Structure 1
Amino acid sequence: MYVIYINDRPLTLRAEGEAGQYPDQAPETHLTARYSGKRKSLLNYADTLEKGSPKVTSIELTAPDLDALWADFRSHYKWVEAAGGVVTHRNNGRQLFIYRRGFWDLPKGKIDDGEDRPAAALREVCEETGLREVELGRALPTTYHTYRGSKRRILKPTYWFAMTTGQEELVPETGEDILRAEWRTVAEVLGSHDPIYENLRDLLRQIGTD
């Protein structure tokens, strides 16, 4: 199963017979359809979510061959990889969040040419938050979201890793529009009304129950 966030709304691709997970999606605005095999039709579904219509807030597409559906969907997008971290403080058990462009976020960034995912995740966390001593942990679920580039649609997978540190002081990278960096708990962030991207909310829910 793949869940891609388009305009902060989920497009789920899954194999026929595979169970879906949609506890927060209103049934009256959730569209489920079987993929016809026509690649161009996938853009129609993406455009529906991009336009932000209140009539359709989530879409689920099924197909007998999930790999083929995923390949067809990816063919419409330029693939731009990113990596980031969910950092937990060893002493207080809190996680590291940053506030950027009106949303609470997690430190992440584009993977450089020749750089592997774990190294990119560590680099971005250190650059964006001022941490220097960070220990890499296990890989976490990958998130996907799209946006419009100057010439093409972009599909960005972000590879997440659990991390730990004993450092307390944080220095937000203001050059990257990061206004604040704070130690908060996942439960606190999810339980508040603070703005956070839905793909990150989904990720935090998953790791909160691990």
Structure 2
Amino acid sequence: MYKVFVNDKPLFLTNEISKETNFQIFLLESIDIKQLIVKMFQNKIQKAYLYHPDEKQIMKTLKSKIPVNKAGGGLVYNKKGEVLFIFRGGKWDLPKGGTEKGEEIEETAMREVEEETGVNKLTVTKKLQKTYHVFKRSGNYKLKITHWFEMHSDFDGIPFGQIEEGIEKVAWIHPNEMSEILKNSYENIKLLFEEEKLTK
């Protein structure tokens, strides 16, 4: 199953129908995906399942309907076990950004962390899951697929936000403060921390 966030609301691409009643269920062959996304952006639909026996086919169809942005990002730990967060647009987020031509996705993730926060001396320790979300820019909908990497940094300077990316502040967050920070973050970021808990 794929979990795609549309305006921070979940759209599950699935080949199994569960008996949950508070989700609207749509069949891939009988729904206009673009219209479904518009309705989710307009808050007319809060959460939905998109069903097809082959869930890869649903993702393929989604990618054919709206342009895809590929991005790389980092869940960065320092020597104290704190996690690097950025604050932008009123929410806490993790550093990430789009790939440049000829770049490996891991290189993108490391470059974006450094550009957005000033934090360097990075080592990738493992690949995390991909997250999917639909955003709207200049009236157009796009699907952002972010490849996440867990990283460690020996950086001991003061991180700073990339102004032109609208980053208001950068902070190392202690594990004890994490649940508070995540209350004001995005659903796909919360997913990464659920995964971290499972693997730690």
> So what's the TM-score if we normalise by structure 2?
0.89
Identity percentage over the alignment? 29
- 5+ residue gaps, structure 1, are 21-26
Q: 1:128 aligns with which of 112, 116, 132?
A: 116
Aligned match of 1:93: 81
When residues 37 and 110 of structure 1 are mapped into structure 2, their CA distance, relative to the original with a 3 A threshold, is same
Aligned match of 1:188: 177
Aligned match of 1:11: 11
When residues 43 and 189 of structure 1 are mapped into structure 2, their CA distance, relative to the original with a 3 A threshold, is same
Aligned match of 1:116: 104
Aligned match of 1:174: 163
Does 1:31 find its partner at 2:31? no
Query: Using the alignment, how far apart are the partners of 1:69 and 1:117 within structure 2?
Result: 24
- 5+ residue gaps, structure 2, are none
When residues 32 and 151 of structure 1 are mapped into structure 2, their CA distance, relative to the original with a 3 A threshold, is closer
Q: 1:159 aligns with which of 142, 147, 154?
A: 147
Contact map agreement 1:143 1:199 (CA 8 A) in 2: yes
When residues 78 and 181 of structure 1 are mapped into structure 2, their CA distance, relative to the original with a 3 A threshold, is same
Structure 1 residue runs of 4 or more that deviate by more than 4 Å after TM superposition: none
Q: CA deviation at 1:200?
A: 1.0
Q: What do the CA deviations read for 1:79-111 (whole angstroms, capped 9, x no partner)? A: 111111000112x11110111111101011111
Read off the aligned partner of 2:59 and give its amino acid letter.
W
Query: Using the alignment, how far apart are the partners of 1:59 and 1:13 within structure 2?
Result: 9
Aligned match of 2:32: 41
Helix, strand or coil: the match of 2:65? coil
Considering only aligned residues, what root-mean-square deviation do their CA atoms show, in Å? 2.2
Query: Using the alignment, how far apart are the partners of 1:186 and 1:196 within structure 2?
Result: 15
Helix, strand or coil: the match of 1:64? coil
Q: CA deviation at 1:36?
A: 4.5
Contact map agreement 2:71 2:145 (CA 8 A) in 1: yes
Read off the aligned partner of 2:124 and give its amino acid letter.
L
Does 1:200 find its partner at 2:192? no
Aligned match of 2:198: 209
Q: CA deviation at 1:171?
A: 2.0
Q: What do the CA deviations read for 1:124-146 (whole angstroms, capped 9, x no partner)? A: 00111112211112110111111
Q: CA deviation at 1:113?
A: 1.2
Q: CA deviation at 1:9?
A: 0.5
Q: CA deviation at 1:33?
A: 1.7
Aligned match of 1:81: 70
Q: CA deviation at 1:152?
A: 3.8
Q: What do the CA deviations read for 1:138-179 (whole angstroms, capped 9, x no partner)? A: 110111111223364211101100000122321222222112
Does 1:70 find its partner at 2:59? yes
Contact map agreement 2:92 2:181 (CA 8 A) in 1: no
Helix, strand or coil: the match of 1:132? coil
When residues 151 and 160 of structure 1 are mapped into structure 2, their CA distance, relative to the original with a 3 A threshold, is same
